[in-house]
Amino acid sequence: MDTDQLIRTLAADNAHRAPKVGAVLALSLLVAAPLSILIFATFLGVRPDVMSAMHNPFFDMKFAVTLSLAIPAIAISLHLSRPEALMRGWGWLLLLPVALLAVAIGGEMMMAPAMPMTMRLVGKNSRVCLSAIPAMSLPLLAGALFGLRHGAPSRPALAGALAGLLSAGLAATLYASHCTDDSPLFVATWYTLAAAFVTAIGAFIGSKVLKY
């Protein structure tokens, strides 16, 4: 086929309109979310003392941290789905959860310690945390990668890493309502490890499936 013929064929297909990447991503995350919620409801569930926990600012802080990861990660992954997009000017958004954690850790340090530091750090749930967040992330990660395939990222591994971060952020938001370890030290250690693991998986798969 010569190029003029190809051009004529493409022009004949001009009427076809694809939805925007954001719409496809939203839809595929909505399809994936029930699976993650099912894992949550089957194996974890909301902690029994949730009503009193809500009065603890460190409990609430966990949601602020996880959502301040998930929402910027969604925004950046959509930005990166445009071929000419650069990370420049967007990367700092990923420092939001780090900054929140730093403030929370500082706040906790200034209070009279309820538990020794090592106990706050290691907590009771570190192993559950390390497996539950990745497990709940996986359906969301699959949904995010499916949605982002509709885009045209110039750096597929980076876009895949962002898919990992956003799914880890959403999964960690669910997990935070189960976990009784509210110390920001625990969150900074174990949530971060779990999210890093999911991010690495996202980058690896993304480098394969997000090429356009």
Partner 1 sequence: MRGREDEWTGLMRSAMAGDDAAYHRLLKAVTPVLRAAARRGLARAGQPPDQAEDIVQDILLAVHLKRHTWDSEAPLAPWLFAIARNKLIDALRRRGRRIFVNIDDFAETLPGEAPPETASAGEVAAQLATLPQRQRDVLQSIAVDSASIRDTASKLSMSEGAVRVALHRGLAALTAKLRDR
Best CA proximity match to 126, nearest among 168, 173, 183, 41: 183
Per DSSP, helices labelled H in 40-80 are 50-53, 57-80
Q: Which is nearer to partner 1, 22 or 35 (CB)?
A: 22
Residue type for 187, please? V
Q: Which is nearer to partner 1, 79 or 178 (CB)?
A: 79
Q: How far is the CB of 81 from partner 1 (least distance, A)?
A: 6
Best CA proximity match to 174, nearest among 40, 54, 71: 40
Residue 38, interface with partner 1 (CB under 8 A)?
no
Task: Tell me how far apart the alpha carbons of residues 88 and 26 are, in angstroms, rounded to a whole number.
Answer: 24
Residue 87, interface with partner 1 (CB under 8 A)?
no
CB atoms within 10 A of CB 46: 12
Task: Tell me how far apart the alpha carbons of residues 87 and 62 are, in angstroms, rounded to a whole number.
Answer: 27
Q: Which is nearer to partner 1, 19 or 91 (CB)?
A: 19
Q: Which stretch binds partner 1 (CB under 8 A): 35-43, 78-86, 91-99, 189-197?
A: 78-86
Per CB under 8 A, contacts with partner 1 among 153-192 are 154
Q: Which stretch binds partner 1 (CB under 8 A): 18-26, 51-59, 121-129, 193-201?
A: 18-26
Q: Are 203 and 167 in contact (CB under 8 A)?
A: no
Residue 1, interface with partner 1 (CB under 8 A)?
yes
Q: Which of 15, 51, 110, 112 binds partner 1 (CB under 8 A)?
A: 15
**94 contacts: CB under 8 Å, gap ≥ 6:** 69, 72, 73, 76, 165
Binding interface with partner 1 (CB under 8 A): 1-21, 81-84, 150-152, 154, 211-212
